[in-house]
Structure 1
Amino acid sequence: MEDHGPAPPPGPSERPTARRARFRRRPAPSREEARRRLRAFGRFHPTRGQLVAALLTTLLGVALVAQARVTEEAGLQQLRQTELVALLDDVTSRAEALSAEVAELEDDRSRLLGAEGDEAAAEAARERLESYQILAGTVPVEGPGITVLVDDDGGIITQTMLLDGIQELRDAGAEAIQVGPVRVVASSFVRTGPEGEVLLDGEPLSTPYTITAVGDAHTLAGAMAIPGGFSDSLRSAGATVTVVEGATVLIDALHEPSEPRYAQPVPSTQDP
């Protein structure tokens, strides 16, 4: 008998059909089988454990909803009287400021639409130009404010401290700020020089530092007295800080605006 070696593996059509049977789609149940399943489902009787689980889930949902409603309703009730008064004062102040702004805008609109519209428009343009010049630091300004004198012989003040002091004055509503011979504007920056000196817009500052700010003098002085703030940090480190309120302070340092290199105005899409 001739030996032809091991038999080759069966082809796809010769493999057992039992393996392929697993991938066959199950036939749809007959109408009688579907009715039998529906009757079995209608005879479903939950056990005691399932009923208890469903009841606990329902009670938990009700409790969560009730807690959310109580928390929402008790938001103001949990505040102290002083906090409620402060909140009411803040809301009242905002409402008064918005009402004043609305009245001012309505008055401007009436003047612009009236017989003196051209003159009123010119006056509004002049006021806006003056406001922009003050913000840009291109004109000297005067008004009520404070002068902060910092005697720092030990070189305690850092760029971070000076930046914090400027930010505290801005937060308190300072409309113009000058540090030493430098006018502070929106683009001003503070850094440390190669010898450890503090630089404002690249200009070195030296002790005693003089900071002048125009705004509500009482509010600005209060900002300088915040515990842990600019003045408190310097005094704790050994520097001497003196805050003087004045009915009129002068800021005469000017900022030379630079031509922007990257920012360009977006062309107007409105029809001429």
Structure 2
Amino acid sequence: MVVVDKEPRKPRGRGRSERPSPTPAEARRRLSALGRFHPAPGQIVAAVLTALLGVALVAQVRSADEAGLSQLRQSELVGLLDDVTGRVSSLQQEVVQLEADRARLQGEQGDVAAVEAAQDRLESYTILAGTAPVEGPGITVFVNDPDGVVTQTMLLDAIQELRDAGAEAIQVGAVRVVASTWVGTDPDGRLTLDGRVLTAPYRISAIGEPHTLSGAMAIPGGFSDSLRGAGAGVDVVESDELLIDALHEPQQPRYARPVEPTAQP
């Protein structure tokens, strides 16, 4: 007797059941993922190279900032050190002199000391005003300019560098340099100092500590380098005794007036 299974069989199909349809939320997520940017390999390489270039530039700038004086030659460092040492020594001497003047003024011979101090101050003012000839150690700068390449800016730089190095008196050609001295040119383009024409070769005399002054003229990128780069010749001679005899004719100020001292509380 054959028994027949009347239970309906499950339909044959694939090994796995079919996936249900995605929900609207899941569909939106899938579309959003498809819309995302997928960079190409070339774009990734370009981005990495750009980042490395930026890091290298930052490192180079920091290295240049930190280098500072380490990039200077030994002779340049020696010149700068001598310049600073000379300025410190000059300031220390000035402090000692001022303290000695104060001690004399406060002593028993105060009246005599006051007269001597006033005389010393008058002599200092005449030197600064250029109304008296002066002598002392210093340097002479000879500038050979056959092609006329020296400009008023170059001459002004020379005067400023000598002042910064502690020059107490300066003379250019036959003109005394004072606080009101100005550099210019005439209608023909020739250099002038206080309105007086200068002719080449130029001679600049300065009284002060010779080695410090000559070091100021040799500063890299300064007066001497600028002239040699333009084609002019520069020679600096140090002297133990130098005479500056050009005098400046003082003029009455038109606008500046002294301020009356106020009473101290």
TM-score category by the smaller chain? 0.5 to 0.7
Contact 2:145 / 2:201 at 8 angstroms: preserved in 1? yes
1:138/1:100 CA distance change after superposition, 3 Å: closer
Amino acid at match of 1:210: R
For the residue of structure 1 that corresponds to 2:241, the secondary structure is strand
Whether 1:236 and 2:191 are equivalent positions in the alignment is: no
Give 1:1-272 correspondences, 5 Å limit. 103-270=96-263
Amino acid at match of 1:125: A
TM-score of the two chains, using structure 2 as the length reference: 0.64
Superposed displacement of residue 96, structure 1: 7.6
Q: Which residue does the alignment assign to 1:20?
A: none
For the residue of structure 2 that corresponds to 1:170, the secondary structure is helix
Q: Report the Cα distance in structure 2 between the residues aligned to 1:139 and 1:95, rounded to whole angstroms.
A: 27
Provide structure 1 residue ranges, at least 5 long, that are not aligned to the other structure: 1-77
For the residue of structure 2 that corresponds to 1:259, the secondary structure is coil
Per-residue CA deviation, residues 198-229 of structure 1 (Å, 9 max, x unaligned), is: 11100000001000000000011111111211
RMSD: 3.1
Contact 2:174 / 2:246 at 8 angstroms: preserved in 1? yes
Provide structure 2 residue ranges, at least 5 long, that are not aligned to the other structure: 1-65, 71-77
Q: Which residue does the alignment assign to 1:14?
A: none
Amino acid at match of 2:201: P
Q: Report the Cα distance in structure 1 between the residues aligned to 2:192 and 2:151, rounded to whole angstroms.
A: 10
1:114/1:257 CA distance change after superposition, 3 Å: same
Superposed displacement of residue 236, structure 1: 1.6
Superposed displacement of residue 104, structure 1: 3.8
Q: If you compute each CA radius of gyration, which structure gives the higher value, 1 or 2?
A: 2
Contact 2:162 / 2:206 at 8 angstroms: preserved in 1? yes
1:177/1:105 CA distance change after superposition, 3 Å: closer
TM-score of the two chains, using structure 1 as the length reference: 0.63
1:235/1:192 CA distance change after superposition, 3 Å: same
Q: Report the Cα distance in structure 2 between the residues aligned to 1:81 and 1:199, rounded to whole angstroms.
A: 37
Superposed displacement of residue 262, structure 1: 1.0
Q: Report the Cα distance in structure 1 between the residues aligned to 2:84 and 2:192, rounded to whole angstroms.
A: 41
